[in-house]
Amino acid sequence: MKIGIVGFQGDVEEHIEMLEKISIKRGRGIDVIRIRKRDDLDGVSGIIIPGGESTTIFKLIQEYGIYDEIRRMVKEGKVPLMGTCAGIIIASRNTNDPRVKGMDLIDIEIERNGYGRQAESFIQEIDINGIGKYTAVFIRAPVIENSGSAEIMGKVRDKPVIVREENVLGLTFHPELTDDTRIHEYFIKMIEREGSISSGASAVGVMA
């Protein structure tokens, strides 16, 4: 299995370390690569767009010619995608930011920095469908204002924070900044086609 992390800016190394930890735990190899050009997408089994600065990541994936290719691969069902924080902004249907054109890979509408600036960052325990109690790290997090046809897997303050639609998993928080591997393991199961197609909208309650 080869998983590609869009590798221009943001929490790239943290995602790599998390996947390497899981590879050791499972006792079988997960090859992790940084995606910086179109050829890097050859043979990948899954793609992660990390947290960081969405305007910068968007500009660079367009400049290096991988925006359209990632969109095509995911739209055609060839690979699952996980977007965290900035990544979910880029994957969304509507970013509400003229500087960032969403890939329309998941039917959600986003408000950037919806919880406030860096000083308003927070840690919150949430309850996630299929995963359970999870301590999530929110840093200048976007808010999902409209979840459309996406399945809501968890909420904070009555707003969705983790959603899924078919082969796309989106999070407004940073699972790579914790020691908890379960969300990355969930994404690996999507890659392995263990229930990779989600069929309903099912909300869960969370601690507010």
Catalytic hit among 14, 111, 165, 176: 176
Contact 82, 119 (CB under 8 A): no
Contact 164, 153 (CB under 8 A): yes
**Cα 92 to Cα 27, 61, 80, 157, 158, distances in angstroms:** 34, 15, 14, 21, 19
Catalytic residue status for 151: no
Q: Measured between alpha carbons, how far is 188 from 132 in angstroms, rounded to an integer?
A: 17
Q: Measured between alpha carbons, how far is 56 from 203 in angstroms, rounded to an integer?
A: 32
Catalytic hit among 14, 15, 174, 184: 174
C-alpha angle 37-42-44 in degrees, rounded to nearest 5: 105
The sheet with strand 143-146 has its strands ordered as 92-94, 106-111, 143-146
Catalytic hit among 15, 85, 151, 165: 85
Assigned token pair, 24: 């050791």
Catalytic residue status for 174: yes
Assigned token pair, 91: 């994957």
Question: Which residues are the active-site residues?
Answer: 85, 174, 176
